[in-house]
Every structure is written in C-alpha cells, then in structure tokens.
A = this chain, B = another copy of it.
Amino acid sequence: MKAIITVMLKNGVLDPQGEAVKSALSVLGFSEVNGVRQGKVIELDLANGTDELQVNEMCSRLLVNSVIECYTLEIM
C-alpha cells in the first residue's frame, strides 16, 4: 500500500521558495500568476495492513513541523 503526504506551509507563513518561483515566472513573462506556494510531497511505500494512525504518527514525529506546516494524507 501507498501513502501520499502533501505538506504545505500554513497560510501566513512566509514562503521564500514560492516567492522566488513567482518572480522567476514573472521575469519569463508569465504575468497571469498572482501567487505561488511551494510544498513537498512524500510517497511512502508501506507494508500491507499499516494503520493510518501509524502514518499520522510518522508525520507528527518527523515529516511535518506542525508549528508552521499543515499536511494532507491520502492512503491508496
């Protein structure tokens, strides 16, 4: 089974990577871009029968900094 975790900075937290991408797109002439946020996606290949609670524990202990980041979890 697979788990896909998408981690984004919370709203209001400065996102320098996103700002850099936005200004680079602007330099390239893509003026239709109003804003950019960049996050990370982590794909876990898990042993069958792994509990969703386990994955949430991985997020809280290692993968996500809950002070500044939020995440969504999809199990497939």
Chain A 43-62: CB-based contact to B (< 8 A → 1; otherwise 0): 11111001000100110011
- A21, B40: Cα distance in complex, Å: 13
| A13 interfacial contact with B, CB 8 Å | no
Interface contact B36-A43, CB-CB below 8 Å: yes
What residues of B have a CB within 8 angstroms of the CB of A30 in the complex? 54, 57-58
- A1-44 vs B, CB cutoff 8 Å, 1 = contact: the mask equals 00000101000000000100100110010101111111111111
Chain A interface category by residue count:
20 to 34
Check if B46 sits within 8 Å of A32, measured CB to CB.
yes
**Min distance, Cβ A50 to any Cβ of chain B, angstroms:** 5
- Assess whether A41 is in contact with B44, with CB atoms less than 8 Å apart: no
